[in-house]
């Protein structure tokens, strides 16, 4: 892949969790990326990034989204309560499945 930019429409992907764009020529993350409230994993070639600052992008998706919210005066309340890590997200998904599924257990004594 040799992508040079991220489409501005990415901001419409409110449930985006991971974005893997390594080995591309992306230098700027669009401002409306601030609306990707659930983003946790952001994998880019940080050394090529000029906006937001690489130091921010290195901290991951959530830090990048928060920084873009601050820069663009976007309300951050939608981010509050979102998991901070991928592992936390997986744990919440497993917990929800366990609550939703009841499996009867049959024990047989032989």
For the stretch 13-22, pLDDT in tens is 988 999 999 9
Nearest to 37 by CA among 5, 71, 84, 72: 84
For the stretch 62-84, pLDDT in tens is 999 999 999 999 988 877 666 66
For the chain, list residues with pLDDT below 70. 1, 80-110
Report the distance separating Cα 77 and Cα 29, nearest Å: 21
CA angle at 56 for the pair 10 and 15, rounded to the nearest 5°: 30
Burial 81-90 (b: 16+ CB within 10 A, else e): eebeeeeebe
**What tokens appear for 89 in the block?**
């997200």
């Amino acid at each position: 892949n040799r992508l040079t930019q991220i489409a501005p429409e990415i901001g419409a992907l409110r449930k985006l969790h991971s974005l893997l764009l390594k080995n591309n020529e992306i230098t700027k993350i669009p401002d409306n990326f601030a609306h990707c409230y659930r983003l946790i994993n952001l994998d880019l070639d940080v050394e090529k990034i000029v906006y937001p600052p690489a130091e921010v992008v290195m901290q991951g998706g959530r830090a990048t989204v928060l920084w873009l919210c601050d820069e663009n005066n976007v309300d951050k309340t939608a981010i509050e309560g979102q998991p901070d890590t991928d592992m936390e997200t997986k744990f919440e998904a497993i917990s929800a499945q366990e609550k939703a599924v009841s499996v009867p257990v049959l024990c047989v004594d032989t």
